[in-house]
Amino acid sequence: MSLATHIKKMINTPTDSQLQSIRLPTTTVNQLEELAQVLDKTRTELISTFIEGGLVELEKQLDELRSEDLPSENDAPTSEARYFLLNTNYNNSPEDHYTMLENGEASAFYQGWKESIAHLNEGDVVFLYQSGVGIVGYGKADRELIKREHCGHENEWYARKLNDFVRLQTPLTAKGCKDTTKSNFNFRMTMVSLNTEQGDALIKKFNEA
């Protein structure tokens, strides 16, 4: 969702918010006050909208940087297991999130994100991460890259079946991931590569559960 979409949503739809303390330059506060009067909104609503839109743009740019480090879809498969953490994008589309779980698949949508699925090799282990909840399932990527339409847009849904898929009854939280692997992950990116030690530690944790 672009910043423009966030602004349109803010104008047309009442939003919930939580109290936060933040210091802003006086000039910025004055601009917010002027916009708030024009739109008949509170400064808090404006700040929330700009932050949400800014986060989306930041995540997009981080994904673009990260994609440069991901292996090419043309790379020859390796004999060693590779591990990836895929954010299911629950916050923006719960329906897509639950489709992944029900189908036991890894999916991403639209240019800039769907390519992460094309980068997977057969046998790569993919952990599905639900924002705010944790790892909710995992499996091994299938060889076939599936392309579907998404919301009327042809070939904008890339997916791979996750063989031997396990849907976890008890998700492993972000803190649980950190404690298990003794390391930090960037959970907000679409897909990140985990090293062998991290992946092995997670699999061991799930096997012991």
**Interatomic CA distance for residues 158 and 154, integer angstroms:** 10
Q: What is the pLDDT of residue 58?
A: 74
Radius of gyration of the chain (CA): 20
Structural domain ending residue among the three candidates 67, 92, 109: 67
Whether 50 and 99 map to the same domain: the answer is no
Residue at 76 is within a domain:
no
Whether 117 and 17 map to the same domain: the answer is no
Residue at 126 is within a domain:
yes
pTM of the entire predicted model? 0.68
| Residue ranges making up the domain that contains 61 | 3-67
Q: What is the pLDDT of residue 18?
A: 61
76 vs 121, which has greater pLDDT?
Answer: 121
Whether 107 and 161 map to the same domain: the answer is yes
Q: What is the pLDDT of residue 4?
A: 60
Whether 95 and 175 map to the same domain: the answer is yes
Whether 87 and 153 map to the same domain: the answer is yes
Residue at 141 is within a domain:
yes
Query: How many structural domains are present in the chain?
Result: 2
Segment 167-187 shows an average pLDDT of 93
List C-alpha distances in Å: 109 to 37, 55, 93, 176, 194. Answer: 37, 18, 11, 28, 21
Residue at 75 is within a domain:
no
Residue 108, domain CATH: 3.10.590.10
Residue at 165 is within a domain:
yes
